[in-house]
Amino acid sequence: GQQLNQSPQSMFIQEGEDVSMNCTSSSIFNTWLWYKQDPGEGPVLLIALYKAGELTSNGRLTAQFGITRKDSFLNISASIPSDVGIYFCAGDTHFGNEKLTFGTGTRLTIIP
């Protein structure tokens, strides 16, 4: 099945550092979503983006909908231990389309 390319695949950072990850696609998306998945649990929605160029924040998280509509970025500022997990981007090609396409995931590890 189709997947979005997400990078980096994994990150090892120290507490307090900022984190950046991105997601690219060969197709245009009308909605970009960012999820976090903790071990043994399902993904939880962090941020939803609906317009090209849109910049949206949720606490220490900021995400952007790329102007080409083929990419999106997620930044986490001043990372804390509970930020550990796998971050997924997801795209929706049509408004209200149920068929989300997910990225390959970025695994974030915080080094003590």
List residues near another protein by CB under 8 A: 1, 3, 31, 33, 40-45, 48, 88, 90, 92, 95-105
d(CA 83, CA 102): 20
Q: How many residues does the chain have?
A: 112
- Strand bridging mode 10-14 / 85-92: unpaired
- In the bound complex, what is the minimum distance in angstroms from residue 81's beta carbon to another protein? 21
Q: How big is the CA angle at 4 (ends 20 and 71), to the nearest 5 degrees?
A: 55
Q: Closest CB to another protein among 85 and 103?
A: 103
Q: Closest CB to another protein among 45 and 55?
A: 45
- In the bound complex, what is the minimum distance in angstroms from residue 19's beta carbon to another protein? 20
